[in-house]
């Protein structure tokens, strides 16, 4: 009978949590997707890049909301059970409060494992895939990415400035600067520029202008009535190497191994694997593998409510304090990331905090439930 009751409790907790997490994640994702759309339009990227990029950021949103939604769900359902006297059924069937807490604790370990999988495997992979779309994609030059009266440097090694742009996307009084290398450059002025496509290749057609070319300290210039500026060979200015959060967990530990012997990895995609970035590497590892250990603590905190009867005059205060304590630990766990350093002892001290808090909470439960003999 106890197993049936525990199973029902688990279904109630889990179903509410999953629905709340999905709903909250979708809402946040929609708002972020709108921001991504503005960025993509400004960068002149294809809509398929936008769709893939925004979808691949969804796991990151889920992981960010995971601790808060989990705590809120457990707190809400536990309060609901207390108010409707549903937990009395458990006590009447001989379930000890510490038995319920132990069962919930085992359940929280599974939730913690899910968060570790998300943060250490799924999110780095999805972030790397999202960034790879930007690294390997070309810019869609028909996406009206040029903003008038602004220096637009979306295209790598090319800066475009236009005084005016009409509703058809035509540019007027525009300047283009193309950096070939450190000693060579090309500056072009044109009264009008029109984006066109020839043989599926983007071209900016310039009218009535002049080009100044600098090569090895020699300056040449020529005027034109019409000139084509091919854009198919240019790439975006997006970062070409992996950021720290995009490195796989294996790559992070690989970095630590190389840096331990005072060597920087030469791989261009692992440019962030350097001694100057060592602290960020430690922070990323801590965020992925140790922050999830606060999950059992956040799951158990709402069960402070079962230590007192709702008829108790201080029950409402206990409810408020319990909720605030949970919010505190959510904020505190995120704050500890900033405390991570390159010093071994300090990192050890920060890492043991969730285990220390969980131990203290369990001792409180044992004390208040008189170990195995407290039955409401």
pLDDT digits (tens, 9 = 90+) for 71-112: 999 999 999 988 888 888 778 777 888 888 999 999 999 999
User: What is the pTM for the complete model shown?
Assistant: 0.74
Predicted local confidence at residue 268, as pLDDT: 42
Q: How confident is the prediction for the chain on average, in pLDDT?
A: 83
Where are the domains positioned within the chain? 2-136+242-368, 151-230
Whether 256 contacts 281, CB under 8 Å: yes
Predicted local confidence at residue 167, as pLDDT: 75
Mean pLDDT of 337-366: 92
Residue the block writes with tokens 């922070």: 283
Residue 376 clears pLDDT 50, i.e. is over it: no
Which has the closest alpha carbon to 287: 275, 297, 299, 279? 279
Give the confidence band of 142 by pLDDT, cuts at 50, 70, 90.
very low
Predicted local confidence at residue 354, as pLDDT: 95
pLDDT digits (tens, 9 = 90+) for 176-198: 888 777 677 888 999 998 888 77
Predicted local confidence at residue 88, as pLDDT: 81
Q: Which of 46-55, 207-216, 287-296 has the highest mean pLDDT?
A: 287-296
Straight-line distance from the first to the last Cα atom of the chain, in angstroms, rounded to the nearest whole number? 18
Where does 216-353 show beta strands of DSSP type E? 218-230
Mean pLDDT of 139-161: 70
Where does the chain show beta strands of DSSP type E? 151-152, 158-165, 171-179, 185-198, 201-215, 218-230
- 3-class DSSP state for residue 340? coil
Mean pLDDT of 354-358: 95
Whether 287 contacts 245, CB under 8 Å: no
- 3-class DSSP state for residue 27? helix
Q: Which residue has the higher pLDDT, 230 or 237?
A: 230
Can you tell me the distance from the alpha carbon of 277 to that of 270, in angstroms, rounded to the nearest whole number? 11
pLDDT digits (tens, 9 = 90+) for 9-44: 899 999 999 999 999 999 999 988 887 776 665 555
59-69 burial, b at 16+ Cβ within 10 Å, e below that, comes to bbbbbbbbbbb
């Amino acid at each position: 009978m106890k197993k049936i009751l525990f199973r029902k409790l688990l279904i109630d907790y889990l179903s509410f949590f999953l629905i709340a997490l999905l709903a909250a994640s979708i809402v946040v994702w929609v708002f972020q997707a709108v921001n991504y759309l503005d960025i993509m339009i400004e960068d002149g990227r294809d809509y398929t890049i936008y769709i893939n990029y925004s979808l691949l950021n969804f796991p990151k949103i889920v992981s960010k909301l995971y601790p808060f939604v989990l705590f809120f769900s457990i707190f809400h359902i536990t309060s609901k059970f207390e108010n409707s006297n549903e937990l009395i059924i458990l006590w009447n069937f001989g379930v000890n409060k510490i038995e319920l807490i132990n069962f919930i604790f085992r359940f929280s370990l599974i939730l913690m494992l899910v968060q570790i999988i998300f943060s250490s495997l799924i999110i780095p992979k999805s972030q790397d895939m999202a960034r790879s779309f930007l690294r390997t994609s070309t810019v869609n030059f028909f996406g009206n990415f040029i903003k008038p009266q602004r220096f637009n440097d979306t295209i790598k090694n090319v800066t475009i400035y236009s005084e005016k742009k009409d509703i058809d996307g035509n540019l007027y009084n525009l300047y283009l600067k193309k950096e070939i290398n450190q000693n060579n450059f090309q500056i072009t002025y044109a009264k009008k520029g029109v984006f066109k496509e020839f043989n599926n290749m983007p071209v900016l057609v310039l009218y009535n202008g002049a080009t100044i070319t600098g090569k090895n300290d020699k300056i040449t210039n020529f005027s034109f009535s019409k000139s084509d500026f091919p854009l198919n060979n240019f790439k975006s200015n997006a970062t070409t190497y992996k950021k720290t959060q995009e490195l796989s967990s294996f790559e992070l530990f690989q970095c630590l191994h190389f840096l331990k012997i005072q060597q920087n990895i030469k791989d261009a995609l692992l440019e962030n694997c350097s001694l100057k970035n060592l602290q960020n590497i430690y922070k990323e590892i801590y965020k992925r593998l140790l922050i999830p250990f606060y999950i059992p603590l956040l799951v158990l905190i709402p069960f402070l409510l079962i230590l007192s009867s709702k008829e108790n005059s201080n029950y409402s205060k206990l409810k408020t304090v319990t909720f605030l304590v949970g919010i505190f630990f959510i904020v505190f766990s995120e704050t500890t990331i900033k405390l991570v350093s390159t010093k071994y002892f300090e990192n050890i001290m920060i890492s043991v905090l969730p285990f220390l808090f969980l131990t203290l909470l369990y001792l409180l439960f044992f004390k208040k439930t008189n170990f195995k003999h407290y039955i409401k």
